[in-house]
A and B are shown apart, each in its own frame.
Chain A
Amino acid sequence: MGLNLKAFIFQLVAFLIVLVILSKFVFPKLVKTLEDRRQTLEKSLEQARQTELTLASAEEKAAKLLQSARTQADQALADAKLAAKNVVAGAETAAEKQTQRILEEAQNTIKDEHDRLSGELKKELAGLVATATEKIIGEKLDDPKDSELIEKTIKGLAK
Chain B
Amino acid sequence: MTAPSRRSLARYGADQLLGGAKVSEVAKELASAMVASGRQTTAALLVADIMRELEDRGVMARVNLTSAKALPAKLSQQISDYAKRAAKVDDVILNQQLDPALIGGVRIETANRSWDFTVAKKIDDMRKVF
Residue of B72, B82, B105, B123 touching A134 (CB-CB under 8 A):
B123
Interface membership of A76, Cβ < 8 A: no
Collect the chain A residues with CB atoms within 8 Å of residue B69's CB: 143, 146-147
Would you call B120 and A122 a contact (CB within 8 A)?
no
Residues of B near any A CB (own CB < 8 A): 67-72, 75, 78-79, 82, 85-86, 103-106, 115, 117, 119-120, 123-124, 126-127, 129-130
Collect the chain B residues with CB atoms within 8 Å of residue A123's CB: 130
Would you call B75 and A150 a contact (CB within 8 A)?
yes
Would you call A150 and B123 a contact (CB within 8 A)?
no
Residues of A near any B CB (own CB < 8 A): 122-123, 125-127, 129-130, 133-134, 137-138, 141, 143, 145-147, 149-151, 153-154, 157-158
Alpha-carbon distance A135/B75, docked complex (angstroms): 25
Residue of A125, A138, A150, A151 touching B130 (CB-CB under 8 A):
A125
Would you call A158 and B82 a contact (CB within 8 A)?
yes
Collect the chain B residues with CB atoms within 8 Å of residue A137's CB: 103-104, 119, 123
Would you call A154 and B70 a contact (CB within 8 A)?
no
Collect the chain B residues with CB atoms within 8 Å of residue A149's CB: 104-105
Would you call A126 and B127 a contact (CB within 8 A)?
yes
Alpha-carbon distance A17/B124, docked complex (angstroms): 164
Would you call A154 and B79 a contact (CB within 8 A)?
yes
- Residue from A122, A125, A127, A134 with most neighbouring chain B CB atoms (10 Å): A134
